[in-house]
Amino acid sequence: YIGFILAAVILVEKVITVAHKDVRREATAFIVDFIIQVFLPIVYFSIRLGQISSSKASILETVGVDGLAGVPWSSRSVSLASKVGQFFDGLGKFEDKLINESLMGTFYFVHATAALFRLIFQTSAHPRTAILVNTMIHAAGDLWHF
């Protein structure tokens, strides 16, 4: 819940900052800041909160008694095909959770990279750092193809 509160504080700060400036000139910067600092974190925290609240059920159905740990390997009354099927069902659910976790890591990496680029571009407000930022902007094409 702290992430939601932080996003709300950042949104209020951005609105107050833009309210004291030329809104038309600052609209693009405000929209970019809103997406990177407010919208994407809220999306991430919302998805993560849902994952955390359902984590107990996820553990039980993947590796717990309803998943991989619940396969009755020692039971003679259950056929081998049923045991193997139950094992691979649990393994498939576990793999789905791993893929979901990998996607969340990728989402967070993209968001962090966007925030880093935003920070670098905002340092161009100072004349001396603007030289560095503008040099990197002009060299980006050459660096990309290097």
pLDDT of residue 96: 93
Which three-class secondary structure string do you get for 88-139? HHHHHHHHHHHHHHHHHHHHHHHHHHHHHHHHHHHHHHCHHHHHHHHHHHHH
Q: Which pTM value belongs to this model?
A: 0.71
- Asked whether the predicted pLDDT for residue 32 surpasses 90, the reply is no
67 neighbors 92 (Cβ within 8 angstroms)? no
Q: What is the pLDDT of residues 83-100, one digit of tens each?
A: 999 999 999 999 999 999
Share above pLDDT 90 across residues of the chain, in percent, rounded to a whole number: 31
Q: Out of 21-25, 27-31, 117-121, pick the least confident.
A: 21-25
pLDDT of residue 38: 85
Residue 9 vs residue 20, higher pLDDT:
9
Residue 36 vs residue 1, higher pLDDT:
36
Q: What is the pLDDT of residues 16-27, one digit of tens each?
A: 777 777 777 778
